[in-house]
Amino acid sequence: MTYAPVIVTQADVEQAWRSLMRPLGWTRTSTWLMLVGPDDRPLPHLTEIEDCGGPPPPGGADRLGELLAGLVRGALPPGVRVAFLRSRPGAGLADDDDRAWARTLLAAAQVAGLRSEVVHLATDVDVLPLPVDEPALPAGA
Protein backbone atom coordinates (compact mmCIF):
# COMPACT_ATOMS: atom_id res chain seq x y z
CA MET A 1 0.00 0.00 0.00
CA THR A 2 1.30 3.46 -0.91
CA TYR A 3 1.20 6.28 1.65
CA ALA A 4 -0.89 8.97 -0.04
CA PRO A 5 -2.22 11.66 2.30
CA VAL A 6 -3.68 14.86 0.94
CA ILE A 7 -1.18 17.68 1.57
CA VAL A 8 -2.69 21.15 1.43
CA THR A 9 -1.59 22.96 4.60
CA GLN A 10 1.63 23.21 6.59
CA ALA A 11 -0.02 21.01 9.22
CA ASP A 12 -0.60 18.36 6.53
CA VAL A 13 3.10 18.50 5.57
CA GLU A 14 4.12 18.14 9.22
CA GLN A 15 1.78 15.18 9.72
CA ALA A 16 3.13 13.48 6.59
CA TRP A 17 6.73 13.87 7.83
CA ARG A 18 5.72 12.61 11.30
CA SER A 19 4.22 9.48 9.70
CA LEU A 20 7.10 8.89 7.30
CA MET A 21 9.97 9.47 9.75
CA ARG A 22 8.85 7.06 12.50
CA PRO A 23 10.56 5.66 14.42
CA LEU A 24 12.69 8.67 15.29
CA GLY A 25 16.38 8.20 16.13
CA TRP A 26 19.18 9.12 13.76
CA THR A 27 22.80 8.03 13.45
CA ARG A 28 23.68 10.61 10.77
CA THR A 29 22.37 13.86 9.31
CA SER A 30 20.39 13.68 6.06
CA THR A 31 18.10 15.74 3.89
CA TRP A 32 14.86 14.16 2.71
CA LEU A 33 12.92 15.19 -0.38
CA MET A 34 9.24 14.52 -1.00
CA LEU A 35 7.59 15.63 -4.23
CA VAL A 36 3.90 16.50 -3.99
CA GLY A 37 1.83 16.22 -7.15
CA PRO A 38 -0.72 18.70 -8.48
CA ASP A 39 -3.41 16.50 -6.87
CA ASP A 40 -1.90 17.37 -3.43
CA ARG A 41 -0.69 13.78 -2.92
CA PRO A 42 2.97 12.78 -2.51
CA LEU A 43 4.60 11.02 -5.43
CA PRO A 44 5.51 7.44 -4.41
CA HIS A 45 9.26 7.93 -3.96
CA LEU A 46 11.01 9.57 -1.00
CA THR A 47 14.63 10.60 -1.58
CA GLU A 48 17.35 10.73 1.09
CA ILE A 49 20.49 12.80 0.57
CA GLU A 50 23.04 11.46 3.05
CA ASP A 51 25.91 13.14 4.88
CA CYS A 52 24.43 16.61 5.30
CA GLY A 53 26.12 17.42 8.61
CA GLY A 54 27.59 20.83 9.28
CA PRO A 55 26.77 23.88 7.21
CA PRO A 56 25.63 23.52 3.59
CA PRO A 57 28.43 23.52 1.02
CA PRO A 58 29.08 26.69 -0.99
CA GLY A 59 27.00 26.58 -4.17
CA GLY A 60 24.81 23.83 -2.73
CA ALA A 61 21.57 25.62 -3.56
CA ASP A 62 22.55 26.00 -7.21
CA ARG A 63 23.69 22.36 -7.55
CA LEU A 64 20.59 20.95 -5.89
CA GLY A 65 18.40 23.41 -7.78
CA GLU A 66 19.86 22.24 -11.09
CA LEU A 67 19.21 18.62 -10.11
CA LEU A 68 15.60 19.45 -9.20
CA ALA A 69 15.18 21.43 -12.43
CA GLY A 70 16.29 18.35 -14.36
CA LEU A 71 13.55 16.35 -12.65
CA VAL A 72 11.00 19.03 -13.50
CA ARG A 73 12.06 18.96 -17.16
CA GLY A 74 11.80 15.17 -17.10
CA ALA A 75 8.69 13.19 -16.36
CA LEU A 76 7.16 15.25 -13.56
CA PRO A 77 3.70 16.68 -14.12
CA PRO A 78 3.23 20.46 -14.08
CA GLY A 79 2.36 21.83 -10.65
CA VAL A 80 4.62 19.50 -8.64
CA ARG A 81 5.99 21.06 -5.46
CA VAL A 82 8.71 19.95 -3.07
CA ALA A 83 8.83 19.32 0.67
CA PHE A 84 12.19 19.02 2.46
CA LEU A 85 13.07 17.60 5.85
CA ARG A 86 16.42 17.67 7.64
CA SER A 87 17.00 14.73 10.00
CA ARG A 88 19.79 14.66 12.56
CA PRO A 89 20.79 13.00 15.82
CA GLY A 90 20.11 14.83 19.05
CA ALA A 91 17.27 16.84 20.47
CA GLY A 92 16.37 20.46 20.98
CA LEU A 93 15.48 23.35 18.79
CA ALA A 94 16.91 24.23 15.41
CA ASP A 95 20.51 25.40 15.40
CA ASP A 96 22.38 27.67 12.98
CA ASP A 97 23.29 24.76 10.66
CA ASP A 98 19.66 23.63 10.53
CA ARG A 99 18.50 27.13 9.56
CA ALA A 100 21.32 27.46 6.99
CA TRP A 101 20.23 24.17 5.41
CA ALA A 102 16.60 25.34 5.36
CA ARG A 103 17.62 28.53 3.53
CA THR A 104 19.71 26.49 1.07
CA LEU A 105 16.86 24.06 0.39
CA LEU A 106 14.36 26.87 -0.19
CA ALA A 107 16.85 28.58 -2.52
CA ALA A 108 17.34 25.30 -4.43
CA ALA A 109 13.59 25.06 -4.99
CA GLN A 110 13.62 28.63 -6.34
CA VAL A 111 16.47 27.78 -8.72
CA ALA A 112 14.40 24.85 -9.99
CA GLY A 113 11.25 26.94 -10.30
CA LEU A 114 9.42 24.73 -7.79
CA ARG A 115 7.08 25.82 -5.06
CA SER A 116 8.39 24.63 -1.70
CA GLU A 117 6.62 23.71 1.49
CA VAL A 118 7.94 24.78 4.90
CA VAL A 119 11.15 22.87 5.64
CA HIS A 120 10.91 20.52 8.64
CA LEU A 121 13.44 19.17 11.13
CA ALA A 122 13.39 15.64 12.57
CA THR A 123 15.49 15.04 15.66
CA ASP A 124 15.64 11.98 17.89
CA VAL A 125 12.60 13.24 19.79
CA ASP A 126 10.34 15.29 17.48
CA VAL A 127 9.44 16.54 14.01
CA LEU A 128 8.85 20.28 13.77
CA PRO A 129 8.73 23.13 11.26
CA LEU A 130 12.12 24.72 10.64
CA PRO A 131 11.70 28.49 10.34
CA VAL A 132 14.62 30.07 8.54
CA ASP A 133 14.30 33.39 10.31
CA GLU A 134 14.08 32.16 13.92
CA PRO A 135 16.72 33.97 15.97
CA ALA A 136 19.31 31.91 17.82
CA LEU A 137 18.74 31.64 21.55
CA PRO A 138 21.38 33.21 23.79
CA ALA A 139 23.80 30.81 25.46
CA GLY A 140 22.31 29.33 28.62
CA ALA A 141 18.70 30.07 27.58
Let me know if residue 139 belongs to a domain: no
Beta carbons of 27 and 124 less than 8 angstroms apart: no
Let me know if residue 1 belongs to a domain: no
Angle subtended by helix axes 60-73 and 96-112, to nearest 10: 40
Let me know if residue 45 belongs to a domain: yes
pLDDT in tens, 65-75: 999 999 888 87
Stretch 101-110: mean pLDDT: 97
Stretch 90-103: mean pLDDT: 94
pLDDT in tens, 121-138: 999 999 999 977 655 444
pLDDT in tens, 23-60: 999 999 999 999 999 999 999 889 999 989 999 999 99
Q: What is the model's pLDDT at position 141? A: 40
Range of the domain at 125: 10-129
The pTM of the full predicted model, rounded to 2 decimals, is 0.90
Let me know if residue 3 belongs to a domain: no
Let me know if residue 96 belongs to a domain: yes
Let me know if residue 51 belongs to a domain: yes
Q: What is the model's pLDDT at position 134? A: 53
Does the pLDDT of residue 5 top 70, yes or no?
Answer: yes
Q: What is the model's pLDDT at position 137? A: 44
Report the domain count for the chain.
Answer: 1
Let me know if residue 124 belongs to a domain: yes
Does the pLDDT of residue 139 top 50, yes or no?
Answer: no
77 vs 31 pLDDT, higher one:
31
Percent of the chain predicted with pLDDT > 90: 80
CB burial readout 6-20, b (16+ within 10 A) else e: ebeeeebbbebbeeb
